[in-house]
Amino acid sequence: MLELLLCSVLTILPDYLYRRYAQGKRIGREITLYSVWFELRWGITTCLMLTVALITIIFYNHPSSGNVTAYFRTVPIVPETIGRVAQIEVGVSDHVEKGAVIFRLDDAAQQAAVESARRRIAETEASIVVARTEVAAAEGQIVQAEKALQQARDELDTKAELNRRNADVVSRRELERLQTVVDGRQGTLDAVLAAKEGALLRAQTLLPAQKASAEAALAEAEVALAKTVIRAGVAGRVEQFTLRVGDLVNPLMRPAGVLIPDGAGRERLIAGFGQIEAQVMKVGMVAEATCFSKPFAIIPMVVTSVQDVIAAGQLRASETLVDAQQLAAPGTITVFLEPLYEDGLDGVPPGSSCVANAYSSNHELIASGKVGGLTALYLHGVDAVALVHALLLRIQALILPVQTLVFSGGH
């Protein structure tokens, strides 16, 4: 309607003034309700054509979108293990700091596993002490076996020397007996040496490895114990937390609640513009938005990112071929808008629905001198008609509460 009024001032009004004052025709006589079309046909036709052209230029170069939302992410409150709730630390809706305990699960089994792992560590440490005493005992037995072996060898050597000098002094059977004693005591020494080596290996290799395994089991048990305490990963607000003591929670079934991080949805707006605006939407464009939750307010924005893919064309591998006809509605260009000034989205609750305009600017292109006179004049006109779209947004911001509260029944 605003474009039509603007175009009529340039077309229908001059046509009427020419016929009224130049041709002397008067309303009610030559210009009647029945002769309006015939008398003002050139002005009406030109007005309609100019209106269509103006609307096209405005909405193409300065796109508008009603699909604008302050999206915010949520963090599901899900335990890492199955268990029964033993203690609740927050209410149905409550603010929590990062690391704060939200609820606890029954940890009797995990506590028992931790205590068992600690006992195994203590048992291994005691076995190491025992193994060291066994090494010391084996060293004493080695000394004893070496002395006994040396004594047997000395006696054998003495008897052998006597036998060499006089065969009748020492019999051959006595020498064989002494040799058997030497061999036996040598075997005893070898056995004691092997026992010492085994004790050393047990004290220095086996038992430390068993202790390391027990310590790893303790760490695993402590991790499992820590999983029974569910903490907030970020600072935020817990909402719809209906879990109660005695409930059985399972991470595969459903979240226990939702955690909304502080500041979520207050940094930017996400808008969906028509695909025809793909060549117009650029990073750095100035934009404006008005939200249902903050009426009568125009929020200056700037385009910070333009998604280079359209979500409607997303294809996921499956057993069924995708028919292009299944895309009933064309997708939109996803654009990220951030406030031009700090705290620009204050008072806009996350999840609010908004309306946004983006404005093209050709000032730098015109100033560069790369375009000719007519093109520069056209680009000047394109930048100028942005005022019309800005005015439409402000009118929309004014009538939005009336439209919502009166004509929509307060919904």
Among 65, 52, 47, 49, smallest CA distance to 8 is for 47
Is the pTM value of this prediction over 0.85? no
pLDDT tens track, the chain, 411 positions: 666 666 676 676 777 777 777 777 777 676 776 666 666 677 778 878 887 887 888 888 889 988 999 998 888 888 888 888 899 988 888 899 998 999 999 988 889 999 998 999 898 888 888 888 877 887 787 777 777 777 777 776 776 766 666 666 666 777 677 778 777 877 877 887 787 787 788 778 888 888 888 889 899 999 988 888 988 988 999 988 888 888 888 887 777 788 889 888 888 999 999 888 888 899 999 999 999 888 888 999 999 999 988 887 787 777 777 777 776 677 889 999 999 888 888 888 998 999 999 998 888 888 887 777 788 888 888 888 888 888 888 888 888 888 777 766 555
Helix, coil or strand: residue 403? helix
Closest CA to 118 of 218, 235, 253, 238: 218
Please tell me the distance from the alpha carbon of residue 49 to that of residue 94, in angstroms, as a whole number: 59
Residue 77, helix vs strand vs coil: strand
CA distance 265 to 101: 24
CA atoms of 364 and 350, how far apart (whole Å): 35
Q: Are the C-beta atoms of 71 and 266 separated by less than 8 Å?
A: no
Beta pairing partners, 289: 299, 356
